Amino acid sequence: MATVRVSDRACLNNQLIGENSEMTTERDDSEAKERTSLHFVGTGSCTPAASNDTTCFVLNDRVLIDCGWCAAMSLLQSGRSALDLETVLITHCHHDHYMGLASVFFYRRMQQAQLESEEELRVFGPNEDIERVVERARMYLQMDRFSAVQTTPEVIPVQPGEGFELGELQVRTAPTRHAVQGMAYHFTDTRTGATIGISGDTAYVPELADFFHEVDVLVMEASHGIEDPDPEKASHSSVRQSASIARDAQVGEFYIVHTRIPPSKQAVEPSEAVAEARAIFARSHVPAPRTTLML
């Protein structure tokens, strides 16, 4: 297992620091090039708190995984930029996971003089929905009327279960159980050997423990809060169910995201979520938005 170092921002209620982690306050770009980085741009559910964004991440500074409400601005607030992106990966096509696509397209066109490459973004996502979602993001910007915002990203539909490569990253996918077609991602950084699993939104699927087996870092949703949902109706997981996947997969560290805030009936405080999760899997954490893990 890789050692996970936490940088860029303090944790919530001191729950983020693991036994093998240390806090730093400055980002070391030279070190980032030699290690695998996972940055939590946002950690919230479909209606995040004012200081947060919906759950989305940047892997190795150039791969955006899901695209929160305010993705372009949230990246800037994180000390990052949509100009650095090469690829966007969507776990599933619900609004809170793709809504920021238009903002990313728009920002890149308005700042195109700063782009180091003229290559268009690549957008990967579930094959049933991703082409429609990208086209409607383009329509929202009225690209047929305003040539200044014209962009034609390369759209790659993915059937859950397929794999592909993104430079140094080997990517595998697995189907999830949600209201729309979705998929979990498993990343292996071939430079460092680090492995990361990201669930996207999903009900409890025991088979995901095999898919995420022994990853260094598992990031999983817990939208249903403390109480387990009705298995016949569920499209999200509880804290206990996600922690059970982490335990059964024997992961290195487990990070809980996509939790709800009041007035939702499934709202849960970070300290409560961590306590519940650690009763099942000791190395459980709730990351603050704008936290970076270095592996």
103: left (phi over 0), alpha (psi -120 to 50) or beta: alpha
Residue 2's pLDDT is what? 73
User: How crowded is residue 163: how many other Cβ atoms within 10 Å of its Cβ?
Assistant: 12
Paired residues of 196 in beta bridges: 187, 217
Q: Would you call 69 exposed, middle or buried from its count of C-beta atoms within 10 A (0-12, 13-18, 19+)? A: buried
Query: 176 with 92: CB under 8 angstroms?
Result: yes
Q: Which CATH architecture has domain 5-294?
A: 4-Layer Sandwich (3.60)
| pTM, to two decimals | 0.91
Residue 115's pLDDT is what? 85
Which alpha helices (DSSP H) does 192-269 contain, by range?
Answer: 208-211, 239-249
Residue 37's pLDDT is what? 97
Residue 22's pLDDT is what? 36
User: How crowded is residue 222: how many other Cβ atoms within 10 Å of its Cβ?
Assistant: 27
User: How crowded is residue 200: how many other Cβ atoms within 10 Å of its Cβ?
Assistant: 26
Integer angstrom CA distances of residue 26 from 31, 79, 104, 286, 291: 11, 11, 26, 21, 11
Residue 203 has phi, psi (to 5 degrees) of: -70, 170
Query: 56 with 97: CB under 8 angstroms?
Result: yes
Residue 32's pLDDT is what? 59
The SS3 assignment for 80 reads: coil
The span from the CA of 240 to the CA of 236, in Å, is 12
Question: Which tokens sit at 231?
Answer: 């298995």
In sequence order, what are the residues at sequence separation of 6 or more whose Cβ sits closer than 8 angstroms to the Cβ of residue 254?
217, 218, 220, 242, 243, 246, 277, 281, 283, 284, 285
Residue 19's pLDDT is what? 34
User: How crowded is residue 117: how many other Cβ atoms within 10 Å of its Cβ?
Assistant: 7
130-132-135 Cα angle (round to 5)? 105
Query: 208 with 245: CB under 8 angstroms?
Result: yes
Report the side by side order of strands in the sheet with 154-158: 5-7, 291-294, 37-42, 56-59, 63-65, 87-89, 122-126, 154-158
In sequence order, what are the residues at sequence separation of 6 or more whose Cβ sits closer than 8 angstroms to the Cβ of residue 19?
283
Q: Give pLDDT < 50 ranges for the chain.
A: 8-10, 12-27
